[in-house]
Amino acid sequence: MADERLIAALDVHTMDDVKRLVTTLGDSVTYYKVGMELFYGVGAQVVTWLREQDKDVFLDLKLHDIPNTAAGGICSLMRLGATMLNVHASGGYAMMKTACDRMHAEAAELGVKCPKLIAVTVLTSINQDDWRDMGLALQIKSAVVRLSRLAQKAGLDGVVASAQEASLIREACGKDFLIVTPGIRPAGSDTHDQSRVATPTSALTDGATHLVIGRPIYAAADPKAAAEKIINEMEKVR
């Protein structure tokens, strides 16, 4: 009963933890997010192992550097076989376009399938007060839409954004643009360190294409039951 729109976050620490959780979830989940803590702790083996299990991988390392360095990093990560990679949109148009162009060129040269490349807009942990304290005058929603348009102009496949901005991004960027939304919490769940959150149903209704869900699954007493409950909720929106 897996739903390819669900990306389960592997916010764990070791390969043993990874294997235990993936085995527990079984066929209920086919797409996993590997973030900084796990990747920096265990390295590329986690991507290799997940691909061997026929799982899709969103390698969430949020590259942000000068254009040539970011492009080189993306090309190195592309060779690992992840399904989707990301950069920070705040790195600017030149960084995003250079990374995108170089990744596609190298994938073509190697004869491998090119992963999707998306851009982080504004982290879902940031609220309007945080944003103002950083000296940024635009409202968060306006900044997210502007960064989304910039990523699309640079040739990227989509963005990471709060579900609260999903409908605005969909209107601005069209129906084929990916909108990957973290900060998803089933009704009644604790928001923890997220500020701009949404339920699975509301996120999909507003235009999200993928939902990244971590703690509500991996911290549940029965992770597989928790994932399947979320999937049942997601199936209400197609």
User: 197 pLDDT band (50/70/90 cuts)?
Assistant: low
The answer to whether residue 236 is catalytic is: no
β-pairing, 6-9 with 31-34?
parallel
User: Strand pairing partners for 34?
Assistant: 59
Contact call for residues 141 and 163 (beta carbons, < 8 A):
no
User: Strand pairing partners for 120?
Assistant: 88, 160
Say whether pLDDT at 28 is over 80. Answer: yes
Phi-psi region of 103 (alpha: psi -120 to 50; beta: other; left: phi over 0): alpha
pLDDT digits (tens, 9 = 90+) for 222-232: 999 999 999 99
Determine the average pLDDT of the residues in 70-90.
Answer: 97
Determine the average pLDDT of the residues in 179-200.
Answer: 72
Task: Answer positive or negative: Cα dihedral of 199, 50, 52, 118.
Answer: positive
- Active-site residue among 19, 62, 116, 224? 62
